[in-house]
Amino acid sequence: MERILKEQKQHIIYGLILLVVIIGFVLTGSYQINRLEKDYNSRVDTLSSSIEKKLQDKQDQITKLSGEIQKTSEQVTETSKQYETQFGELSQRIGDLAVDSESFSSVISDVIDATVTVVTNVGQGSGAIITSDGYVVTNYHVIQGASKASIYTYDGEGYAVKLIGYDVKEDLAVLKMVSNNTFDYFKFGDSDSLVAGQKVVALGNPAGLSFTATEGIISSPSREVSGKDYIQTDVTINPGNSGGPLINSLGEIVGIVNFKISNYEELGFAIPSNRVEKTVDEIMSKE
């Protein structure tokens, strides 16, 4: 009996030892799992931070590259504008050299057909055909207060007139010859490229005489008068010249003759072509 009790006690002790060993294994395994989990999470966090940093670096590089591309694009645009301006000035100077050797006669003969006379019941002036279907630009004061108007071309043909619109502040009006004919017309030049001393010619029908051309130079490409910039020229301007084209050596309109200072024959002023073209486009867009 005593031997049996002793064996049972030994079995209990062995069981307790085994239980302790098992618990130790369990605790050790749990510790290792927690340690592995922490190590895994740490590595994931480190990898995520690395990836985020690399992505941010790439984004910064893309942003920097985009800025450089934008800056380069702006530089290319600015350079292109400068080249266009220089090319325009060079073309004008080449034209002026040709004028020096051959005079304006050939240029005038090519464009005189696009010059018109605007006759109303209160007076008359000049104008310039600006489209092949007969749109004409002139000064507003040429038609101001008129109830009737006609347009006569260089060949003497008369046409009824439709008023398209006008801008009182700019002193410009757009008319349309009522006709299905096709007409010679002027192109607009760049008035911003004008320089002092450049040769120009005013075309028109002063004092109701036959069409005339008066040569002169640009005294100032931008002279402020009553808050607006005008082209100052020494071209002789007489009654009836108002609304007529001021052309360069390429036969382009660089201004529309507008007014002169009384008692001063060499103080004439024209509306710059860039302003004329903008105003004409605005008027015609409302037609």
Catalytic-residue membership of 184: no
* Distance separating alpha carbons of residues 42 and 48, to the nearest angstrom: 10
* Distance separating alpha carbons of residues 254 and 231, to the nearest angstrom: 9
Catalytic-residue membership of 11: no
Q: What are the beta bridge partners of residue 119?
A: 124, 150
Handedness of CA 227, 231, 235, 237 (dihedral sign): negative
Catalytic-residue membership of 242: yes
* Distance separating alpha carbons of residues 198 and 207, to the nearest angstrom: 27
Q: Which of 126, 141, 193, 219 is catalytic?
A: 141
**Residue in 268, 251, 256 with CA at minimum distance from that of residue 136:** 256
Q: Which of 171, 190, 193, 219 is catalytic?
A: 171
Q: Which of 193, 242, 249, 273 is catalytic?
A: 242
**Residue in 109, 244, 231, 129 with CA at minimum distance from that of residue 187:** 129
The residues that are catalytic are: 141, 171, 242
